Chains A and B, each alone.
Chain A
Amino acid sequence: AQSVTQLDSHVSVSEGTPVLLRCNYSSSYSPSLFWYVQHPNKGLQLLLKYTSAATLVKGINGFEAEFKKSETSFHLTKPSAHMSDAAEYFCVVRIQSGGSYIPTFGRGTSLIVHP
């Protein structure tokens, strides 16, 4: 079985300071991992994905994530937070289940950015 745990339900940072959103996964197979962002009253937008190539993945809006197999982690970071980064962030793992690749979503982390 696969699962994903987002360790913080809320993260609060000041504008201009670094962002760290934590994600740990459990999977018996090599996973595909994703981070999505959801702004209020919007759908989810892909930030970045890990596909068994480079372990450090760069995404949109200055975000990046590092796949660490030994720690089963895929934490999302950004060097300097912007007010527009305030949103809900979801970590997702996908592995094969039968003939399909079923996604499992974390519970989400709400990022709050203070001026």
Chain B
Amino acid sequence: ETGVTQTPRHLVMGMTNKKSLKCEQHLGHNAMYWYKQSAKKPLELMFVYNFKEQTENNSVPSRFSPECPNSSHLFLHLHTLQPEDSALYLCASSQEVSEGNYEQYFGPGTRLTVT
């Protein structure tokens, strides 16, 4: 596999369920990101991991819990979600260096529906 992969591609869950989204990057990058993309809203940065350390948490509700066990894998654990959490969840990776001119590579996303 190449690039950034995400599983599952589609997920339907009830508000009381617990599920996890998985992201894996095969690019040797040292930073990984979770984004939420909702209809008619800007792309929202949720979490950033740089060298496996969480460096950003943009006021995301605690029902979303990220985990980064190594530089290639990123998880988003979900529990007691709300219907407004239904969205496309995108994972991205990049190689962070001292300048800011490095691009992000995105996975195809997980389409989450909360019922």
- List the interface of chain A (C-beta within 8 A of B): 31-32, 34, 36, 41-46, 49, 51-52, 90, 94-96, 99-103, 105-108
Contact = CB atoms under 8 A, between A and B. Distances in A.
Contacts, number: 57
A34 B107 CA distance: 17
Interface residues of B, number: 23
Classify the secondary structure of A's interface with B.
strand
Contact of A34 (B55, B99, B103): B103
A95 B106 contact: no
Contacts of B43: 90, 105, 108
A103 B95 CA distance: 14
A101 B100 contact: yes
7 contacts: A41-B111, A43-B4, A44-B104, A46-B104, A49-B103, A94-B100, A100-B48
B101 A49 contact: yes
A52 B101 contact: yes
Given A43-B90, A51-B101, A101 B96 contact: yes
